[in-house]
Structures are given as structure tokens and as C-alpha cells.
Structure 1
């Protein structure tokens, strides 16, 4: 995809991987609209001359707010990057928080599906368009401590694959990006061997430019290789992660 002159909506663009995505895309000549839910980070991103929609995509009201703000706008690229994790481990004291699990499922899975559905007519009207769904290496094989997060990413991976098949022959391409453990607030306290978010974003942008179907970022390349040889071995490794 030729990025110069395109317009992109990037969810979760006020922090982490998304914060680097919006800056790298702007550097390629893309007009970027982004979304965030933290008022301070939204304000800081606006101060850096980005258009920011403040909305919480963990609920339907947030979806409605984003779509209202985009009314009548032409969008060439939709990047579903916003995501969150949630503790859901029965080995810990007490029971998991089901309200938090529901909000995570909505943010990680329902929100991308809602945005894709609402924006599909706009995307199909463009000469060249792309949907980028940011999943995770954990969509390939889960870790034991994060079953809700892993399930949402595996579901979005399956959705992306089916959607790509549906849109074959149209002007809308579907790219799935699978990051490894990246240095963000989401992964705080989880080891030291993490990919810098700017490098993760660089590889995703490169995948957009090359019209890739998948971008296996960093160590996910190794996980994908192991999974192709032995899915059971990949699961065994990741469940201990």
C-alpha cells in the first residue's frame, strides 16, 4: 500500500505500540485520526498535533462516540490496535472479576468487529483500503495466566482470517499483526526481554506497505515456526510462559 495521502483511524493511539504507530504513519504522509480513553494521554497527543477522539471502546457508548466523530469522513486504513489484559487466574486467591473480563472481551473483540462493520462501506468505496487487526503471539498459543486475553486475541485472529477470505477480490485488504511481549503498560512486571514498542510499530508499518497478510513480529516468527511443526509443543511452551 502506498501510504502517502491516506487517512487512517488508529485505536489506542495515545500510548504504547499505538503511540509509535501514529507517529510513524504521519512520517509516511498519512493523515492520522486516533482514539484514546485516558484524558491526560489524549491531551498530550493532541498537543503533538494529532486529531484525538476521547472514547472508551470497552463499551458501546465508546463505539458510538468514535463513529459520530468520523461521520462523513473518508477512511483508507482502520487499525484496531486498542486492547487490554485482565487477571483471570483461578490459582490466585478469590474469584476473577467478571465485569473486568466482560469489558476486556468487548474492547479486544467486539470493538474491532463493530468498527469494521460500521466502516466497511467507507473502506469499500476507497480505491485502496486496509483493515489492520493487532492480535498477539498469544493468539497462536495461550499462556495459562491470561485465558481471557488469549481467547479474545485468538478469536480476532480467526475473524481476521475469515474476513480476508470474504474480501478477496475487493479493494479492502486485511492484515493481522501479531506482536510478541512489548514494553508497554500492559506488560509491566512481565520479565525483561521485551521488544521496544517503536520497533514493533515499525514492523507493522512495513507490513502495511508490503500488503502482507500477516506480520509475525519479533519472537513470534519463532513461535509460528514451532507451531507449524508441532502445535502441541507450541502450546506446551506458551502455557508455561
Structure 2
């Protein structure tokens, strides 16, 4: 798919991987509408010439408000990139159940609700795409991030089923599985981190090439190990 001239709705586009995708898509001639929660970050992206929409996607009301702000605009590409990393580790104490609820909604339910709302207008376009950003941890979980891993695994399986449902339509369904990326979300993570700019570049290449999956960086190795010895892949990631 050529992204030039396409209208892209990119959630979580004011920081991290999303911000880099927004910049690279714009450089290729796409019109990018990006969402975020932080007013200062949104203002900074607006100063770069992006259309920005303030949206908290941790509730149904937040998703519905975003859809309402879009009005009847045509959307060619939906990129579900927004996500929340939830601290849910019983080794540190009792986790906050409300934080878990917000994370589950933002990471899993919000993309499903947004896709449900936008598939009719995506179907009306001659060429369209849905990109769901999951994680290498959707393949094998890390012990310290069970809620995040569960939501990303859920979104992975939703994406696989959605792709089958939309087979033969104008909508290409793509899953992007980043490794640990150098973003604010991973501050304090001791693992080697991929630059956000490179991760974004690989996701956009997968979109342009029409691939079903973008296994990025170390996720490629993890996918290989998981295909041969799933229990070994889990042992590799559960220690983190």
C-alpha cells in the first residue's frame, strides 16, 4: 500500500513509537490524525503540523468521543498504537485493580471498539488497512507485566480472527509486534532497547508491503524459538 495521500488515524501518536510513526508517515505524504492524552505533547505535535485529537481511550466514553470528533471523515488506515503499561506485581505488594481495569480497556477493549466503529468507513475505501500494535510479549509473557501481556495476547488473537473475517475485502489487517523499545513506557527496564524511530520504520515498511505481521527486532528471534519450543520461549521471557 502506498501511504501517500492516505488519511491515517493513529492512536497514541504524541510520544514514543506513535510519534515516530506519525512523523515518518507525514514525510511520505500521508495525512495523519493523531490522538493522545497529554496536552503538552499534543501541542508539540500540532506545532509540527499534525492534526491532533485529545482522547483518553481507557473507557467506552473516551473511544466514543474520539469517533464523534472524527465526524463522517474518510479514514484509510487505522493504527491502534495507544497502550498502557500496568504495574501488577504481587512481589511488590497488592496491585491496584482499577489500574488493571484501565489498562485492559486501553490495550484491548478500546482497539476492538474503535475497529467496530470504523470498519464500515474503512470498507468503503478502495484500499484500507488496520494495524494493531501488540508486542513480543503477546507471544511469551514477562512475569512482572501480566496484565500488559494478557491484553497484548488478547489483541493478537483478535487480530488473527479479524484478518480471517475481512479476507477478500479492501481492508488489510496487520499485526506489529515490537520488542522492548526506548520509550518512556520502558524507563527503568534494564533490557536492551530498540530506538523508537527504527521500530516505527519497520512497522511502516510492513504496512507498505502489505505483510500480515511485522516481527520487529528481537521479536523475530522469539517467534522462531516459540515455533520450535514454546516452553523455552516462555522461560526466556518469564524471568523478566
Q: Same fold (TM over 0.5)?
A: yes
Question: Aligned to 1:130, what secondary structure does the other structure show?
Answer: strand
**Which residue of the partner structure matches residue 188 of structure 1?**
187
Q: Once superposed, what is the RMSD of the aligned Cα atoms?
A: 0.7
Q: How does 1:143-222 map to 2 (within 5 A)?
A: 143-191=142-190, 193-222=192-221
In structure 2, the residue matched to 1:49 is 49
Larger mean CA deviation between 218-227 and 57-66 belongs to 57-66
Which runs of 5 or more structure 2 residues have no equivalent in the other structure? none
Decide whether the 8 Å contact of 2:58 with 2:106 is kept in 1. yes
Deviation at 1:61, TM superposition (A): 2.0
What per-residue deviation string (whole Å, max 9, x for no partner) do you get for residues 142-173 of structure 1?
01111000000000000000000001111001
Structure 1 unpaired stretches of 5+: none
2:69 maps to: 69
Once residues 90 and 117 of structure 1 are traced to their aligned partners in structure 2, the CA distance between those partners, rounded to angstroms, is 35
Give the number of aligned pairs: 240
Contact 2:138–2:152, Cα closer than 8 Å, also in 1 = yes
1:89 is displaced (CA, Å) by 0.9
CA distance in 1, matches of 2:157, 2:57: 21
Distance 1:61 1:49 in 2: 27
Alignment CA distance shift 1:228-1:192 (3 Å): closer
Cα distance in 1, alignment partners of residues 82 and 92 from structure 2: 27
Distance across 1 between alignment mates of 2:191 and 2:67: 38
Query: Are residue 100 (structure 1) and residue 99 (structure 2) matched?
Result: yes
Q: Distance between the aligned counterparts of 2:142 and 2:191, measured in 1?
A: 17
Number of the residue aligned with 1:113: 112
Query: What is the TM-score normalised by the length of structure 2?
Result: 0.99
2:39 maps to 39
Deviation string 1:90-126 (CA, Å, 9 cap, x unpaired) is: 1113x10000000000000011001000001000000
CA distance in 2, matches of 1:100, 1:90: 14
Segments of 4+ moved more than 4 angstroms: none
Deviation string, structure 1 residues 189-232 (Cα, Å, up to 9, x no partner): 00151000000000000000000000000010000000010001
What is residue 5 of structure 1 aligned with on the other side? 5
Report the Cα distance in structure 2 between the residues aligned to 1:32 and 1:126, rounded to whole angstroms: 16
1:123 equivalent in structure 2: 122
Q: CA deviation at 1:68?
A: 1.0
